[in-house]
Each structure stands twice: as C-alpha cells, then as structure tokens.
Structure 1
Amino acid sequence: MLFRSWGSAVEAPWPDVAEVTDHVGVRHLVVTRHAQVRQVLADPVSYRPDNALDAMTPMPVTALRMLAGHRFRLPPTLANNSGASHPRIRAIVADALHPTRVAAQRPWLTALVRDRVARLRATLDAGHSVDLYADLAADLPLLVLARLVELPDAPVGAVKEFARAALELFWAPLDADRQVALAGEVGRFHRVLRDFAATGGGLAADLRNAGHPPDVVVGALFFLLVAGQETTSQFLTLLLHRLAGEPAVRAGLRTGEVAVGDVVEEGLRLEPPIVTWRRVAAVDSTLGGTPVPAGTGLVLWLGRAGRDPAVVESPDEFRPGQRGSRRHLAFGAGAHRCVGDMLARMEAAVVVAEAAPLLDGVRVIRPPWCPDNLTFRMPDAFVVRSATGRPAGRTGF
C-alpha cells in the first residue's frame, strides 16, 4: 500500500521507476523492482537516508511551535543518520538486541503467549468474539523490548498511543488540526524520553557512557519505541489475518510439513508492516534507465519488491519455503538494515506456533483496517469468532 491516491496515479503494471506527485505537490520517484530497491539501500553514499524521518505533510507553524515547546528534536541517530556516528550508535543498539539475548527471551514469551491463547480459546468456546490485535499482539513486542533494553516507566497504553501518533504525524496525509493534536501527544511523550535518557539504565546508560549526547540517546529510544515494537505488533496482526485465509498452510503447520520459520518469512514478504522507505539522491544517477538528479526524493516500495517475479517463483501466493521467499526486503538492506530483525522473527515464530491453531474453525468478524499512510500499515483490530460454536483448535504444533 502506498498513499491511496497514488494507486490511481500510475497505470498498472507499475514501471521499474515511476514519477508520482504527493498530496502537497512534491515530486517523488517510486522504485518498485527488487534489484533497484536493493541497489539504493546498499549504497548510502549515493542515496542518503537523511529524509527517512521527514514529515510527509509539512507541519504548520502551530504544530512546530507545539513540538518546540516540548523541546522535541530528532537528530541523526539510526534510520536517518548518514554520518560517522551511525556505526557507533548502531553497534550499541545491536549489542542490546544481540541474537543470544533475544533467544533467551523465547521461553518467557512462549509461556506468556500460551497463557493468552488459552484465555482467548476459552472466550471463543463460550461463543464470544476476540480481538487478536488488542488481546494478543498489540503489546507483546513492547513487553519483550522492555526486558532487553530497559524502557521508560510508562503505561503500555501511553507508549502505544505515542508510537501510533508518531507514525501518523510523520508519514500520513493530514490536515493542520490533526497535526497540532498529534504534535502535542508526541511532544509530551518526548519529555518522558528526555528525562529517561538522562538517568535511565540499560541501553540509555550504555549510550551515555559511550559519550553520546542526550539528544542522540532520546533519538535512539524514540526510534526503538516506534520501529522496534509498533511495527512488530502490526506484523503479528497482519500475519495472523493472512493465516486465517490460508487453511492449507495451517494444516501443514499441524502436520509439520510446513515450517514455522518459513511461514514467518513468507508473511514478511507478502504482509510487511513497513511497505516503503525513503532515500534522497546525493548525486546524479540512473535507476532502471530513469535519470535521478541529485536532490530527488526516492520512495522504495519494499512491499512491491517482495512480489517481484524476477525473485519469487509465485509472487502473489502464500507458499512458505518457495524459491525467493526469504529474499524479501522487509527489514531493508545494507548499513541501515533493521537491527531488530532477529527479535521480530523470534516473536513472530512464537505467535505462529502458539496462536495459529486458534484460527481453525473461526470466522473473521472484522478484518484489520489500515489508515492512509505512506510507510506503515497500522492495523487497528482483528476480530474473530467461532464459526460453529465448537471449541477452537488446540494450541501449539
């Protein structure tokens, strides 16, 4: 999904590189093919990440004043950092999310998910509806992340509201009133991050002890809270919804003919929570035969690249383990590849293994709805109910 208005701006099939004008009149080049998207991501010198966190809808003075009043700043830290400090910051964050530390969380997360699934099954067996976003997926990544990096002491609901507000403020088409409201919400939580960055332990202390200034510590925490947990809860919801319509895959999971890891990778390919990412051309170049002058904004269509027939055998079918399934770009590529990819994969594997059986014998009452957003899908709910009144499937494979 791109901005919905862009879907009618270019006739199908999309070319390798398409010129599109956004809702405020700014020209972008949308890069659609796997090879060209990877080429851009792998070359941070020619294609810089400096615009990665720029607001898609320019903010009015009132919203900017609101953010300034909260001393809101997003200096180059991770996704938007093309400078020399990026490798040092990334190394500290990567150590906090090291695969060994991630793997150590798996037993705890499995027990938590198993307990929730048991309660959801009882609710379904009683004839009631359940929301697999709100009741299962929404807070799981945040709870795991808090165990790994130590996060500000704030209610889960407040963190989730802040993260979704930030995704909307910077990547959605908005009117001025909505921008002001979101700026207030994001700015208020930024104060919490700033206070925690000055005194908190865990990752915040590691960054401070390495000599990084307070704004960098805040920026790293901001990015983790937005990209490190919100996108994963989105993916868990989207993947469960996709599995609800894939009975053959669920049957394969039950018999062991389909591997959980292959399901996760195919889900990342077909249902990525981040569908685009941005770069800005630093030099004159050419992509797919299209001239790209320096200063051009590029929109890398990660979701479309995952369906490239040059890479995937059956690009539109959910076939775990098929050729090319794992070559998706859901986590990006190159120096800015998502540092939490192993964490997201572990969480998704646990949820698939423990929760997919709930989808046997249910009907979807309310599928996930995603608001208009250039980059993030942000599903809001996924409601199911038993189709027959009979008990839902047993947990685990």
Structure 2
Amino acid sequence: MTPGGWPDVAVVADHVGVRHLVVTRHALVRQVLTDPVTYRPDNALDAVTPVPVAALRVLAGHRFRLPPTLANNGGASHPGIRAAVADALHPARVDAQRPWLTGLLRRRVARIAATLATGAAVDLHAEVAADLPLLVLARLVDLPDAPVEAVKDFARAALELFWAPLDDQRQLALAAEVGRFHRVLRDFATTGGGLAARLRAAGHSPDVVVGALFFLLVAGQETTSQFLTLLLHRLTVEPAVVADLRRGAVEPADVVEEGLRLEPPIVTWRRVAAVDTTLGGTVVPAGTSIVLWLARAGRDPVVVDSPDGFLPGQRGSRRHLAFGAGAHRCVGAHLARMEAGVVVDEVAPLLAGVEVVRPPWYPDNLTFRMPDAFVVRRAGRPVPAQGGPPQA
C-alpha cells in the first residue's frame, strides 16, 4: 500500500471480462514505463472493446491499418520515426509560435470578454480549447487540407473507438468515421510535404506515414485541447490561484504543472508484460495487460507534499507522469506546455468573477477525459445550472 492507502497494484476485470493489472504507485508506474524490454507498448492502441466483424469490414474497406509507429512501437524503427517527429516539434520551432499564439488568444479573449460583459454565456471549450492545438500543430507539421471540424470529429471518434466501452452499433458508426478520414491520411501520406515527406525520404512505407499522422492528430492535438479545458475548469474553483496569476505572484508554468498533475487528459496508459516478472511484489505472468494509472500516480503522497491541493510550485509538482516516461515519453510535451502556458497567461484573468453554467461532461473512456463543453458567464446572474451529456 502507498501511504495514501491505495493498493500499489490490483487485478481488475473490465467491461468485457478481461483482467488487467492496474498500477497506481508513482515509482511502479515509472518503473514500467522506463523498462520497454519487460513491459512492451504493443497493446497501447488495442481496442478496449473488441471490434466486431461488421466494423472490421468497414475499416478494411477504407484500407485502415495502424502498424507500429510511435505509441505502440517497441521495435527497431521507433527511434527513427520518433526522431523525425521530434525534429518537427523541436522546442525552438515550438517557441517561435508563441508570439502568433499570444496574438490569436488576445483577440479571442477580447471577444469573449465583450460577450461576458453583456451577461451572455460563453463555451470556453469551443472558443478557446477545441481548435487551438490543431491550429498550432498545422503551423509546425504539414497536415492534410481538411476542415478543422472534420479533423476534430475524426480524432474524437478514434479515441472512442479504441478506448471506450461500446456496443456494436456505435462501433460501426465510429469505424465509418475513422475509416473515411484514414483514407484522407493515406492520400496525404503519398504526396504531402513536411513530416510526411521526411518519413517517405527515410524509406518508411505509406502505412507508417499514416500511422505517424494518425497519432499526431489524435494524441498530438486532441489531448492538449482536453487539457486546456480541464485546466480552465479547475481554475474556476481555485480563486486564490487566479488572483495570484493576476498579480504576478505565481508563474503560469507552475500552474500548468499542477494542472498536469491533478487534471491530466490521459488518465491511464497500457503496457503488456513480455516475460514472467514481478511488480511491487505481485507476480506478473507474460502476456498480462497492465494499466498504468497515471492520474493516481500524480497524487502519490510519496512524491508530492499536498497530493490533492492545487499548489503551484510545491515539492513534487513537476514529477507527474502526465507525459509518460522513458523511450515513449510524449514527444509533444514542450508544445503542450507552451500552449497551456500561453492560455493560462491570457485566459485565466477572464475566470475571476465567473460562474460555471455547464461543467464539462466526460464520456466513459479508459484513457481519455474528452470534455465536451465548458460554459461560463459573469457571476450573479440567474441561470439554470446544468450538467450531463448534451440532449438530442
């Protein structure tokens, strides 16, 4: 047991009866992530709900394939593919986007502030978080020429198809959505510039190029969108932090780190035991599915002084595992931090004196939070508080 009373590891059966070893303790989660020989990433993109034959046929009709590229690649090709993506997301290139992003956010904040001043409600997820990471990513990596909404719909469909408990009809609909956009990616993989061209020049197949683009569009921007909404929502119940930000008593970067620790968009990640081993005194047979509870690890009292308190700069705040660790640590970590830092700096002042009209709703998902909306208005005006999923 950790000092907080959580089991270090526990066997849990999922909605289809598959048993997983859930790991909660920070040290053990990190141990698994940094040992790719004992614990492989092969199952990282496996569908949580087995995909039925009808949906598989839909995917096959779109020539859908996801060979090992980034998150699910434990082979020799991983370092080369990762290096190409890392070059596209180099910190210097990322930091060069800060002035443009700051200007964009200031224009949006001015518009939002004007709307709030009228007493109207504003969806901060839609107005700030939903498209921002995609717009930044498009400036760093050549992407297929597709409407923002189409990319967002595809990314959310993929997160649901592979990581959510689903029935057959929903899987069929999601397979069609994912398959259609996968065809767009496949066409782009053979002709696109930027990262796609670099991967082709390095000798990678179109399937690998598609896989890299798939992961960037799903994990490279959608998770950051989620985090921006999660962080802004959390700040509405942290008035002292917002006040400290407004008077310069706390750094936006420290606020971002506490947000990543307490409100990570990716709450779990998976590995599979490659050999018989033990973990925290528990016998782990080869082939065991391991679920790493990243969100729980961020609240391990061994690591952080105040596990449940939002205290920017506290000891252990930056030791969270929101970006993973080891060879598969998130290659876009610097990008996500830059975007979140600018959002905190520019948008957080809006949160003083607002009330939440509709908090984010999160669908059932093993790994991703996927907030759908976050509606606020100026405090003191009578409005019905509503939560839950949007009504049809």
TM-score by length of 2: 0.96
Give the Cα separation in 2 of the matches to 1:379 and 1:14: 26
Look up the match of 2:236.
244
Which one of the candidate residues 146, 149, 165 is aligned to 2:138?
146
Look up the match of 1:337.
329
- In the alignment, is residue 62 of structure 1 matched against residue 65 of structure 2? no
Give the Cα separation in 2 of the matches to 1:14 and 1:321: 25
Give the Cα separation in 1 of the matches to 2:312 and 2:186: 43
Q: Which amino acid aligns with 1:165?
A: A
Give the Cα separation in 2 of the matches to 1:275 and 1:13: 19
Give the Cα separation in 2 of the matches to 1:209 and 1:94: 16
Give the Cα separation in 2 of the matches to 1:14 and 1:296: 21
- In the alignment, is residue 76 of structure 1 matched against residue 68 of structure 2? yes
Look up the match of 1:357.
349
Give the Cα separation in 1 of the matches to 2:127 and 2:300: 34
Q: What displacement does 1:388 show?
A: 3.7
Computed over aligned residues only, the root mean square deviation of the Cα atoms, in angstroms, reads 0.8
Give the Cα separation in 1 of the matches to 2:217 and 2:318: 26
Give the Cα separation in 2 of the matches to 1:256 and 1:125: 24
Give the Cα separation in 1 of the matches to 2:60 and 2:133: 30
Matched length: 378
Look up the match of 1:383.
375
Question: Does the residue aligned with 1:19 lie in a helix, a strand or coil?
Answer: strand
Q: What displacement does 1:257 show?
A: 1.3
Q: Which amino acid aligns with 2:159?
A: L
Q: Which amino acid aligns with 2:137?
A: L
Q: What displacement does 1:136 show?
A: 1.1
Question: Does the residue aligned with 1:352 lie in a helix, a strand or coil?
Answer: helix
- In the alignment, is residue 97 of structure 1 matched against residue 80 of structure 2? no
Give the Cα separation in 2 of the matches to 1:254 and 1:237: 19
Q: Which amino acid aligns with 1:332?
A: G
Look up the match of 1:327.
319
Look up the match of 1:393.
none
Give the Cα separation in 1 of the matches to 2:93 and 2:257: 21
Give the Cα separation in 2 of the matches to 1:137 and 1:257: 25
Q: Which amino acid aligns with 2:349?
A: P
Look up the match of 2:39.
47
Look up the match of 2:385.
none
Give the Cα separation in 2 of the matches to 1:250 and 1:361: 10
Q: Give a deviation string over 1:42-73, Cα, whole Å, max 9, x none.
A: 00010000000000000110000000000000
Which one of the candidate residues 102, 115, 118 is aligned to 1:126?
118
Give the Cα separation in 1 of the matches to 2:279 and 2:110: 51
Aligned positions of 1:1-397 closer than 5 A: 13-388=5-380
Q: Give a deviation string over 1:93-135, Cα, whole Å, max 9, x none.
A: 0000000000000000000011001000000001100000011
Q: Which amino acid aligns with 1:188?
A: R
Is the CA contact 2:70–2:328 (under 8 Å) kept in the aligned structure 1? yes
Q: Give a deviation string over 1:223-275, Cα, whole Å, max 9, x none.
A: 00000000000000000000011010011111211111000000000000000
TM-score by length of 1: 0.94
Q: Give a deviation string over 1:311-364, Cα, whole Å, max 9, x none.
A: 000000000000000000000000000000000000000000000011011100
Q: Give a deviation string over 1:129-160, Cα, whole Å, max 9, x none.
A: 00000111100000000000110000000000
Q: Which amino acid aligns with 1:119?
A: R
Give the Cα separation in 2 of the matches to 1:368 and 1:18: 29
| Structure 1 outlier segments of 4+, above 4 Å | none
Question: Does the residue aligned with 2:324 lie in a helix, a strand or coil?
Answer: coil
The answer for unaligned runs of 5 or more in structure 1 is 1-11, 390-397
Is the CA contact 2:272–2:287 (under 8 Å) kept in the aligned structure 1? yes
Q: What displacement does 1:288 show?
A: 1.1
Q: Which amino acid aligns with 1:65?
A: R
Give the Cα separation in 1 of the matches to 2:176 and 2:157: 10
Give the Cα separation in 2 of the matches to 1:284 and 1:32: 20
What percentage of aligned pairs have identical amino acids?
A: 82
Between 1:246-255 and 1:31-40, the stretch displaced more is 246-255
Q: What displacement does 1:13 show?
A: 4.2
Q: Which amino acid aligns with 1:29?
A: L
Is the CA contact 2:243–2:352 (under 8 Å) kept in the aligned structure 1? no
Q: Which amino acid aligns with 1:56?
A: V
Give the Cα separation in 1 of the matches to 2:244 and 2:118: 27
Q: What displacement does 1:375 show?
A: 0.2
The answer for unaligned runs of 5 or more in structure 2 is 382-392
Q: Which amino acid aligns with 2:274?
A: A
